[in-house]
Amino acid sequence: MAGLTEDRTRGWFRGARETTQLDLTTGAPAGAQPTRAIGGTHATVQVDRDQLPGVAAAEPRTDAFPAAEPVVRTVEQHLDLILAAAPTPDPIQLAVLDAQGLLCAEHVVSSRDLPAFEQAALDGYAARASDTVGATPEQPVGLAVVGESVAGPAEPSAIGPGLAHRVTAGAMLPTGADVVVPTVWTDGGAVHVGVQAELVPGTYVRHAGDDVAVGDTAVAEGSPIGPAQISLLAAVGRDRVLVHPRPRIAVLCAGNELVDVGTTPGPGQVVDVNSYALAAAARDAGAEAYRSGIVPRDRRKLVELLESQLLRSDVVLIAGTFAGGGFDLVQEALAQLGEVTFAQVAMHPGPVQAFGRLGRDGVPVICIPGEPAAALVAFEVFVRPAIRLMLGKRQLFRRTVQAVSAQQLLSPLGYRQYLHGQVMRHPDGGYVVEPVGGGESGHDAALARTARSNCLVVIDEDVTEVSPGGLVTVMPMLLGG
Amino acid sequence: MAGLTEDRTRGWFRGARETTQLDLTTGAPAGAQPTRAIGGTHATVQVDRDQLPGVAAAEPRTDAFPAAEPVVRTVEQHLDLILAAAPTPDPIQLAVLDAQGLLCAEHVVSSRDLPAFEQAALDGYAARASDTVGATPEQPVGLAVVGESVAGPAEPSAIGPGLAHRVTAGAMLPTGADVVVPTVWTDGGAVHVGVQAELVPGTYVRHAGDDVAVGDTAVAEGSPIGPAQISLLAAVGRDRVLVHPRPRIAVLCAGNELVDVGTTPGPGQVVDVNSYALAAAARDAGAEAYRSGIVPRDRRKLVELLESQLLRSDVVLIAGTFAGGGFDLVQEALAQLGEVTFAQVAMHPGPVQAFGRLGRDGVPVICIPGEPAAALVAFEVFVRPAIRLMLGKRQLFRRTVQAVSAQQLLSPLGYRQYLHGQVMRHPDGGYVVEPVGGGESGHDAALARTARSNCLVVIDEDVTEVSPGGLVTVMPMLLGG
């Protein structure tokens, strides 16, 4: 349990050095002398990856606190660990309406023909094609109208040569009829009808099995279930369907400073916002989220809480595990229940992340930073893809677009940086983006700014500067409006 | 109640003539002689709107069934009527997590500063900027570490000149301190610390109210509520928020031919798929949908059912009102409860649409075709925008894109045509689209094809032909995958 013994005061900052040294938009270390020059006016400063000092290349520790070396990972390495461990919940049977938005987990084969019987495709006259030979508007063919069929339960009927039935769309076709003459191609007669066009057999007739035949796949395994699939399932007689269920995710928050939203925070206290925001984000990603709120500050109670969550969850998500005074308690409880490795991930914000498995079933536990903006970034980067994987989705990641940066962006070398931004369509086409933060130091936690953002700007590890007008990768996070 | 007395056998087909005459992809009226030549090889055939025969220009009726002239409308006219009548449900208070995806209906003003107190933005040493003057890595300034503050409830502390406190991110800053020196800019000392940089006052300090000050708007009226807004609401102490609620929509289906999904259809019968598909589509659009299923075939019971739906619904949606044998019964029941006008809307599929108001409160009722693919088109065109309007959304319509048509498309003159299609990204950029139907006649009802579509192709009223390679408007309807 290497990660559990880390030095929390210092260890995390070694690799994070570049991050803390830079004011991320101005490049100046907010009042201190710059520790390296920010070069050039290139749109994008690229650094040879082989030349990267690398987060693992920190100098030997010199302070007095002995501690295990922190585990160091790239974003991809940490994500891969999480995705590899994401369980695949067993498919469940749901009522078709409850299956909406989920992926089908069975091959639904039709035991019915759709349509089930030969029927009129529109309102008109059921007739025999052979009777219409030579018919034109000038020389219509006259037929005797001997019956009427509307859509609905019906006794089989039949017509012979020279006869017709009035029919409505969906009505069962009389035996002997092989065309439906649209009303507009007739004189609309009630007793005798003049047909003004010659029709080939089958015209405006829906044949049994035209849409789906017995044995056809109605809905294939892996299909996302939307209104049209629900239609089709109902049509083949299915009111329930096997689907990949929503993964159940328990959302907990740790931190001595936290109070629940109903409590007015005292000195040094802040409201727990993460359990709300992360539960909302998890639902938005397709999970069933259980908000457990702030974890108890008693180790035995905390272990009991975690154990109860393990029973009903596919994944446990904890924010703030390594923040402030709650640190040891939560890490100890986690250590008691399984193996959790705290790692320094080469990203900003939130370089400290953890992942492990708890309990007899090895339920994955993902620990993310407690700082709200960093928590939402970590959710996007690590948790949302895991939820989508558990849902069975093939596309785990948000679509990204390239956007023109409206202002200079600086990024710590060796870290993938995620900035909350606002992306807009550019008048000349394409997109333009700017970060929502003003670039002042210490504002990672700015909730109001995060709430104004509609995207994450992603700046690669080897890019330290994006000039105004340079291209950056943007991950739009659409909210309805 | 003009529309209620229409001749159902004939009246609908007069304006719909162009539609029924054409096999929509080949242009040939499936076996009959073409009634007009399909001209040219232009990418798009445009017709002068002034020259349009127009749906109102049908010749005088010659048959024996006296009937009121059908009301004739464009898609926009019918939509405008519906949108103008869409009620704005009163805002309701919801728990913040239940507000997700809805629009805020109040101006949430903060009565708190966020942060609430001056705090460290990161781990390090709280100190006085004046003590760091002249500090460099070569000539560090030494300070005595006289305390430690972690995030969490705390008694106020203070430091004087020459002193420092170890602090963690989020910890309350001691009085007297005006900077936080990141650990990496020090020697990390526990009793004495060597500071290696000169800091201006305020560096790495989060000031009270930096993010949100007392009196600031935390969440503005009309903002969509997502995870970040939920964060902000919780942070200002709100566990409930006033929102525009999901409109409640009752979904009913009429048609003598219908049986519920649990019943094996007999001769002439088909499974009710619309009440499922439309309830799913309504939920997907943001409504709370009540699926009532197939309406009773007894007029008194039907009126009772409608009355009970009016009490709990913002909108009533009925599919199949004018199909087959259910026609008179449903129209009579509607006439008893209010005013409903059946109109011929210049669109394909589904030219017959109806709209009216029922009951004392004038609850809007939208009647759409019963043919499943046409019902889903009508939902997209008329119902989804109304639901979004009731939700308070500004963007009522799906985004459209221009796509290259992979094959020839024909469209009836004077009608806006909607085809279910598959749109894909073109290897050379842009999009390419093809209809999911093979173009055979009588296949509007093909559920399996509808289920394979991911967009609607929209062909304007004055366009009769789109050649392969021509541009068409496409409305992507994304499903997760």
Q: What pLDDT score does B126 carry?
A: 96
Return the amino acid letter for A16: A
Q: Which of A98, A178, A273 to probe by mutation at the B interface, max B CB count within 10 Å?
A: A273
Whether B121 and A171 lie within 8 Å, measured CB to CB = no
* B302-313: average pLDDT: 94
Q: What is the dihedral of CA A206, A209, A211, A217, to 10 degrees?
A: 180
Which of B343, B212, B322 lies closest to B256, judged by CA? B322
Whether B203 and A446 lie within 8 Å, measured CB to CB = no
Which A-chain residues 347-386 have CB contacts (< 8 A) with chain B?
370-372, 376, 379
Q: Please tell me the distance from the alpha carbon of residue A217 to that of residue B8, in angstroms, as a whole number.
A: 37
Residue B15: is its pLDDT beyond 70?
no
Which B-chain residues 179-238 have CB contacts (< 8 A) with chain A?
179, 182-185, 187-190, 197-206, 210-212, 216, 218-219, 223-224, 226-235, 237-238
Please state the separation of Cα B333 from the chain's center in Å.
Answer: 31
The percent of residues above 70 in pLDDT, for chain B, comes to 82
Q: Which CATH class is domain B92-114+211-243?
A: alpha beta
Which of B181, B203, B137, B122 lies closest to A16, judged by CA? B122
* CB nearest A30 (choices: B203, B281, B443): B203
CB-based burial, B47-63: b 16+ in 10 Å, e otherwise: eeeeeeeebeebeeeeb
Question: Are the C-beta atoms of A120 and A168 separated by less than 8 Å?
Answer: yes
* A139-144: average pLDDT: 96
Q: What pLDDT score does A256 carry?
A: 85
Whether A224 and B479 lie within 8 Å, measured CB to CB = yes
Token representation of residue B310: 């009016």
Which A-chain residues 306-335 have CB contacts (< 8 A) with chain B?
323-326
- Tell me: domain A119-206, CATH 2.170.190.11, correct? yes
Which of B71, B349, B27, B101 lies closest to A280, judged by CA? B101
Banded model confidence at residue B150, pLDDT cuts 50, 70, 90: confident
Residue B158: is its pLDDT beyond 50?
yes
* CB nearest A150 (choices: B256, B277, B279): B256
Residue listed under structure tokens 């900035």 = A419
* A54-66: average pLDDT: 35
Whether B206 and A100 lie within 8 Å, measured CB to CB = no
* Residues B66-89+245-391, CATH architecture: 3-Layer(aba) Sandwich (3.40)
Whether B188 and A10 lie within 8 Å, measured CB to CB = yes
Residue A5: is its pLDDT beyond 50?
no
* CB nearest A235 (choices: B123, B136, B447): B447
Q: What pLDDT score does B69 carry?
A: 60
Which A-chain residues 78-137 have CB contacts (< 8 A) with chain B?
96-97, 100-101, 103, 114-117, 121-123, 129, 136
Q: What pLDDT score does A57 carry?
A: 34
Residue B265: is its pLDDT beyond 50?
yes
The DSSP secondary structure of B2-35, one letter per residue, reads GGGG--TTTHHHHHTHHHHHS-TTT-S-TTSPPS
| DSSP classification of residue B30 | T
Please state the separation of Cα B140 from the chain's center in Å.
Answer: 60
Whether B100 and A283 lie within 8 Å, measured CB to CB = yes
Say which residues have a Cβ less than 8 Å from residue A160's Cβ, sequence separation at least 6: A176
Q: Is B432 on the interface with A (CB under 8 A)?
A: no
Token representation of residue A211: 């849409």
Residue B40: is its pLDDT beyond 80?
no
Q: Which of A12, A184, A419 to probe by mutation at the B interface, max B CB count within 10 Å?
A: A184
Q: What pLDDT score does A438 carry?
A: 54
* A382-405: average pLDDT: 94
* CB nearest A21 (choices: B129, B179, B184): B184
Q: Please tell me the distance from the alpha carbon of residue A154 to that of residue A147, in angstroms, as a whole number.
A: 12
Where are chain A's structural domains? 2-89+245-391, 92-114+211-243, 119-206
Banded model confidence at residue A328, pLDDT cuts 50, 70, 90: confident
Whether B271 and A63 lie within 8 Å, measured CB to CB = no
* CB nearest B198 (choices: A32, A270, A281): A32
Question: Which residues from A are below 8 Å from B443, CB to CB?
Answer: 121, 206, 210-211
* B227-256: average pLDDT: 94
Domain A2-89+245-391 sits in CATH at 3.40.980.10
3-state secondary structure of B262: coil
For A396-478, strand residue ranges (E) read 401-405, 409-410, 416-425, 431-435, 455-459, 463-466, 471-476
Return the amino acid letter for A410: L
Q: What pLDDT score does B445 carry?
A: 54
Q: Please tell me the distance from the alpha carbon of residue A320 to that of residue A352, in angstroms, as a whole number.
A: 10
Say which residues have a Cβ less than 8 Å from residue A354's Cβ, sequence separation at least 6: A3, A321, A322, A340, A341, A342, A343, A365, A366, A367
Residue B369: is its pLDDT beyond 50?
yes
Whether A32 and B153 lie within 8 Å, measured CB to CB = no
Q: Please tell me the distance from the alpha carbon of residue A79 to that of residue A89, in angstroms, as a whole number.
A: 19
* CB nearest A123 (choices: B9, B65, B443): B9
Q: What pLDDT score does B450 carry?
A: 87
Contact pairs from chain A to chain B, CB under 8 Å:
420
CA distance, residue B99 to nearest chain A CA (Å): 9
Question: Are the C-beta atoms of A290 and A221 separated by less than 8 Å?
Answer: no
The percent of residues above 90 in pLDDT, for chain B, comes to 65
Whether B203 and A31 lie within 8 Å, measured CB to CB = yes
Residue of B nearest to A230 (CA): B277
Whether B203 and A265 lie within 8 Å, measured CB to CB = no
Q: What pLDDT score does B448 carry?
A: 87
Banded model confidence at residue B31, pLDDT cuts 50, 70, 90: very low
Q: Is B62 on the interface with A (CB under 8 A)?
A: yes
Banded model confidence at residue B288, pLDDT cuts 50, 70, 90: very high
Q: Which residue has the higher pLDDT, A175 or A21?
A: A175
Q: Please tell me the distance from the alpha carbon of residue B14 to that of residue B6, in angstroms, as a whole number.
A: 12
Whether B395 and A481 lie within 8 Å, measured CB to CB = yes
The count of other CB atoms within 10 Å of the CB of residue B161 is: 10
Whether B123 and A323 lie within 8 Å, measured CB to CB = no
Residues A258-314 have pLDDT tens digits of 999 999 999 889 999 999 999 999 999 999 999 998 999 889 999 999 999 999 999
* CB nearest B170 (choices: A13, A206, A324): A324
Q: What pLDDT score does A27 carry?
A: 33
Question: Are the C-beta atoms of A411 and A417 separated by less than 8 Å?
Answer: yes
Q: What pLDDT score does B322 carry?
A: 58
Q: What pLDDT score does B479 carry?
A: 53
| DSSP classification of residue A89 | P
Banded model confidence at residue A220, pLDDT cuts 50, 70, 90: very high
Q: What is the rounded average pLDDT for all residues in chain A?
A: 83
Q: What pLDDT score does A479 carry?
A: 53
Question: Which residues from B are below 8 Å from A261, CB to CB?
Answer: 96, 234, 237-239
Q: What is the dihedral of CA B321, B323, B328, B332, to 10 degrees?
A: 10
